[in-house]
A = this chain, B = another copy of it.
Amino acid sequence: MQLFFEPRSVVLIGTSRQTGPGAYNNLEMLLSYGYPGRIYLVHPKVPDIMGYKTYPRVADLPEVPDLAVISLGRERVVPTAVECAQHGIKRLVVISQGFADADARGAELQAELVRLAREHGVRVLGPNTMGVLNPFSGFTTAFIDVPRDPAPAPLTMVAQSGAFQVGASSFTGRLGKAIDVGNACDLDMVDVLEYLADDPDTRIIVLHLEGIKRGRLFLATAARVARSKPIIALKTGRSLAGAKAAMSHTGSLVGEDAIVDLALAAAGIIRVRTLVELLAVSRAFLKFRPMAGPRLGVATATGAFGIIAADACEDHGLELAPFPEPLRDLEEERIPWHRLGNPIDLWPLGMVTGSFTGVFKRAVAGLFADEHVDAVLGVGPCFTSPRHADLNIPGAVRELRSANPLHKPLALLLYGDKTAHLAQVEELDREPNVACFNTMDEAIMGLAATWRYRQFHEAPAPGDFSLPQPSSRPLPLPPEEVLVGEAALNLLQAYDLPLVPGVLAADEAGAAAAAMEVGYPVVLKIISPEWVHKSDWGGVRLNVTTEAELRQVYLDLTARFHQSTPAGTLQGILVQKQVHGVELLMGLKRDPQFGPVLVAGAGGIYTEVLRDVARALVPITPDHGAKMLQSLKIFPILQGFRGQAGVDLPALAAALVNLSRLAVDYPEIRELDLNPVVAAPQGCWCVDCRVVL
């Protein structure tokens, strides 16, 4: 990976003979970027480009370059890659577009490229990439003129688009290395994270993710790297994921984006949802040590912005620290009516003393010194007018340099005329542990993200996210795409999932015998692969209390079935004991990125109405199962409140663990729905099950 960022020699294949506007000539950009290594060009026709001799074929090159950069039309990429491999080149950057993201032919070409690369032991970055940018060593594959930053930041951007390199000042503020993995046909986020783990130029990692390949390994790698380097991720495509169709409740309740949320959080990745947040959080990590706690001290020139700070703290999970009592003497400066608190409203004190700068400095110093304060927010005006030379926040901050031995973050929100704002922000951004933000929200979002990271950092390391080996299966799976009725219930039974007592009856007499066996009152249900939504279609009758009623209901149900679906297969009528309790849902969903996910939530008629679900990556422990239940909105009902008995939480947690085992052993299960699971003070019962393969 390192030689992708710092090749000693590079060959450019497909570079245009044109230069200047509209040419997107990567030789021109590489030269202007100040690359110190050896450059070769391959071109079939012209003898030289920009004064550099060209070679007609890769085989003609006088050495084996560390890296080849290909920007040919898509049909010529694979043959050229073969030439490179045959010449011994081990690393390719494929800029060319029109591959798997475009059409079927592109997908074929990409598969062929991967096959050849594997065969020859060649690693490929791209296709559809702008490649790498390394301002430290002076190397770039970009066909865009990105000026080389003379003071690169320790923040590395790993994206699926070149725009994040081109517009870094809008997206992460500052930038060091960058890599665009493009279609990630071979090299992906996992490879890049492995490399960045030990890269001395990287202290902070920002990921722009469209899709995630090798999901579990990605999480494990990220979790390991995040112990020492904060990883910020902008995962896009939230809206697209939401639109996917699903065949079960579990499927529709757990959008892919919710699983992304769960997975990234488990790996300690700081997810940002918007570009505003990306910029704010990047800035905070670039300038601040992570907050040691959630408590913020606010020194403000205006009470109004103290209230706005309190709102933002509530929005983003920070708290206002108690007022530092040693600062009480600020009050005694001639304003008996001024009540000090946190936020500290400094304006009246500034007016009376004639030195806002002075009171600001004392307040911030007091907040730095107070052990109950984890970070400081300063809000104040900035002016070019000489009439306000006394309002000098940059001056105060400079003088406070030695007053911050614990390196607490100082976030600043300046407002005033534009010229002063630009100048003072630039000046203040050079101070250590100080960062200016454009709005309150950005300041608080940024600080809060450092506190989230600190909590992850101090928690025990997460597991390795791997799936256990499947054990031998107690049952073979039938060939159907959807399992209902006995086939589904047998599977549950094999995993010790408690079933409500019931018998699948083939005729009226059998149903009557079944009811005697399980005991009245009973429930009757149509079991048929065509009647997946049997409740909605009137295929379920509750609370049948006598044999006469049962016989009537049996006839009604079968008549209804044959009338609505004359060609349907009626497997039978299920006669179950009617059980009472809180109705829950449990389920499984196989995520294309992260594999099996376990779900628990409110069930029965409340399923879709409440959408109250907890999720976890499989496998889980009983402890984890208990935590899922605790995180539900309906947990107080499960626990028992307002004089009602609670339900059997250990039995529910055990059922979740059993479901987790089942998910490991049957990877072909795409969705599984237990709804309802009836939970009572003693025990719980699965009443209905649907499995989608």
Contacts and interface: CB of A to CB of B under 8 A. Distances in A.
Interface size grouping (class) on chain A:
35 or more
What 8 A-B pairs have minimum CB-CB distances, sorted nearest first? A167-B415, A161-B304, A22-B354, A239-B314, A275-B439, A145-B385, A21-B389, A21-B390
A644 B171 CA distance: 52
B145 A440 contact: no
B239 A311 contact: yes
A440 B274 CA distance: 8
Interface string A27-71: 011001000000000000000000000000000000000000000
Interface in A121-168: 144-145, 147, 159-164, 166-167
Contact of A416 (B32, B167, B537, B610): B167
Interface string A272-303: 01111001000000000000000000000111
A374 interface: no
Given A160-B304, A438-B170, A644-B605, A311 B238 contact: yes
Nearest to A314: B239
A98 interface: yes
Contacts of A3: none
A210 interface: yes
Interface of A: 19-24, 28-29, 32, 74, 97-98, 101-103, 105-106, 144-145, 147, 159-164, 166-167, 169-171, 208, 210, 236-240, 242, 273-276, 279, 301-305, 307-308, 310-315, 335, 337-339, 348, 351, 354-355, 381, 383, 385-391, 414-418, 421, 438-442, 535-538, 540, 605-606, 608-610, 633-634, 636-637, 641-644
B605 A418 contact: no
Nearest to A358: B22
A672 to B, nearest CB: 20
A307 B22 contact: no
Given A304-B236, A337-B105, A609-B633, A276 B276 contact: yes
B236 A311 contact: yes
Nearest to A97: B348
B310 A642 contact: no
Contacts of A634: 609
A252 to B, nearest CB: 14
Contact of A210 (B28, B164, B304): B304
A167 B637 contact: no
A108 to B, nearest CB: 11
Nearest to A234: B308
- Copies of this chain, complex-wide, total 2
Given A23-B354, A354-B22, A387-B28, A237 B415 contact: no
Contacts of A418: 169
Nearest to A320: B239
Q: Which one of A145, A440, A637 has the greatest number of beta carbons of chain B within 10 Å?
A: A145
A159 B567 CA distance: 71
6 contacts: A19-B387, A161-B302, A163-B381, A170-B416, A275-B441, A609-B637
Contacts of A339: 102-103
A533 to B, nearest CB: 8
Contacts of A24: 351
Contacts of A307: 210, 236-237, 240
Contacts of A355: 22
Contacts of A338: 98, 102
B98 A386 contact: no
Given A274-B315, A276-B276, 20 more contacts: A20-B387, A21-B388, A22-B355, A22-B390, A23-B387, A97-B348, A97-B351, A102-B338, A105-B337, A145-B387, A161-B304, A167-B414, A169-B421, A170-B438, A208-B304, A274-B439, A274-B441, A276-B439, A438-B438, A605-B644
Nearest to A538: B643
Contacts of A19: 387
Nearest to A312: B274
A610 B208 CA distance: 35
Nearest to A146: B417
Contacts of A386: 20-21
A313 B239 contact: yes
Contacts of A389: 20-21
A32 B418 CA distance: 19
A524 to B, nearest CB: 13
Contacts of A637: 605-606, 609
Given A145-B388, A238-B311, A239-B311, A641 B274 contact: no
Contacts of A97: 348, 351
A32 B383 CA distance: 15
A417 B210 contact: no
A537 B540 CA distance: 38
Contact of A242 (B238, B274, B314): B314
Contacts of A440: 274-275
Contacts of A438: 170, 276, 438
Contacts of A22: 354-355, 390
B166 A416 contact: yes
A240 to B, nearest CB: 7
A637 B610 CA distance: 11
A163 B540 contact: no
Contacts of A605: 637, 641-642, 644
